[in-house]
Structure 1
């Protein structure tokens, strides 16, 4: 498992003017006796900041935040094909998963927090690296190294998702033992199972099986590490869109090997 970076917030402290400067900057009047009396500065003008100006100011968004800035983030993530949930202005778990997907795709430091640098990067094209250059125009690529899934249509990426694949450990659960490995290779979708299904190893949502009992499916647990028994876990909202797009017979290519160092 790897740690999330913490954004540093440096408080801004205004430096008080020296006495001489304060005297020069403050209006004054002279009495008949020659004494100098400082006048009170005028009250500050009422703010006239427009909504557009407010949105352009630097922001730092965190999970749990709500409002217009979060809606802007969600729209940008949706436009980039990272987010498929509602544009509701709530920085919830599905939004967090989309933030991770973009950061992985852009090779940025992984963090729950979103600052001006990421918001700016979302407006710029991302150089995309294809895993299978000679693959079919419509296909799914699963990158175990980046823990990233990409769906192509007409050779263009149209869905990019954070995933959690096989934990690569030996397991024994409910009388069933095996190796938690997501196999590398070239496959095709063999079977589809809509909605929630529950087996001896847990529950799966909108499952797309591509070899044996291994499937791409939605899950309520998609951590920043390989954690499955071999399946490819996706965020729930993204799995809904994936299930709409991918049909039986579609090519699925799995490449790479997970390494924590890849995210440092």
Structure 2
């Protein structure tokens, strides 16, 4: 009787294993498949290595970020400079004719753009200045009619305005607001605010007591718009509004500041 029960139990266990219900022991008790039936195993029943389909981070080709364009500054040459010069002209920042050479005229125009955009005034076209170019930053006029020369002391810009529209913009340097001495007297280097008109002019160098003035256009006593060899991007004059020699020649040649032209200083 005991042998009969043992045989019955054995048959029951074998039937259970054959159904695969007990997954915990089925893999151990089941016969090893042949290499022919299972391509992942060798003839001896040993699993063979298969090519991995997973991709590790090191296997994934990575695209390097595009290098940032180099800053454009004085001395640069090439097509990027031509594009810069054309864009400055398009926005009204005078810099002469595009020639692909980043010289003094281009630097003066970049100064003017940076002033209008409220940026640091280094004369170099970096990311922030390029964004200002891309956005098309331009100063706004205060006058609404007629032909007016507007001089903004806060922004240090000289603007040609027609019927409220700014047509051309120049870097300028007005009074430093520092005290200076002349013939034993102390004066303030100030450019007074107000509304004036161009009253007289000299077509050449004026050897003034405080320095040389190139082709000055006087609008308030001895205060004039004039060309100078040095036009920094900050207030530095004794009271006049300086522009570059090249800019002053352009203004004269094209009759941009004729006598009786309105000049607004604010």
Query: Shared topology, TM-score over 0.5?
Result: yes
TM-aligned CA deviation for residue 132 of structure 1? 3.6
d(CA) in 2 for partners of 1:231, 1:240: 17
Choose the corresponding residue for 1:102, options 113, 116, 128. Answer: 113
d(CA) in 2 for partners of 1:166, 1:235: 16
Matching residue of 2:95? 84
In the alignment, does 2:231 pair up with 1:222? yes
How many residue pairs are counted as aligned between the two chains? 205
Stretches of structure 2 lacking an aligned partner (at least 5 in a row): 1-55, 61-67
Matching residue of 2:168? 159
Deviation digits for residues 84-103 of structure 1, max 9, x if unmatched? 32422222222111101011
168 and 115 in structure 1: CA distance in 2 versus 1, 3 angstrom threshold:
closer
115 and 249 in structure 1: CA distance in 2 versus 1, 3 angstrom threshold:
same
Q: Is the 8 A contact 2:195 2:262 kept in 1?
A: yes
In the alignment, does 2:207 pair up with 1:189? no
For residues 122-161 of structure 1, the aligned pairs below 5 Å read 122-126=133-137, 128-133=139-144, 136-161=145-170
d(CA) in 2 for partners of 1:59, 1:131: 37
Q: Which has the larger radius of gyration?
A: 2
Matching residue of 1:204? 213
Deviation digits for residues 178-210 of structure 1, max 9, x if unmatched? 331111111011012123222221111121100
Q: Is the 8 A contact 1:84 1:241 kept in 2?
A: no
Flag the structure with more relative contact order, 1 or 2, with Cα contacts below 8 A and sequence separation at least 6.
Answer: 1
TM-score by length of 1: 0.69
Q: Is the 8 A contact 1:174 1:201 kept in 2?
A: no
Alignment RMSD (CA, Å): 2.7
214 and 150 in structure 1: CA distance in 2 versus 1, 3 angstrom threshold:
same
Matching residue of 2:84? 73
Matching residue of 2:247? 238
TM-aligned CA deviation for residue 70 of structure 1? 1.4
Stretches of structure 1 lacking an aligned partner (at least 5 in a row): 1-19, 26-56, 256-264
Q: Is the 8 A contact 1:196 1:203 kept in 2?
A: yes
Instruction: Name segments (4+ residues, structure 1) moved above 6 Å.
Output: none
d(CA) in 2 for partners of 1:90, 1:101: 18
TM-score by length of 2: 0.68
Q: Is the 8 A contact 2:157 2:171 kept in 1?
A: yes
Matching residue of 1:58? 69
Larger displacement relative to structure 2 (180-189 or 161-170): 161-170
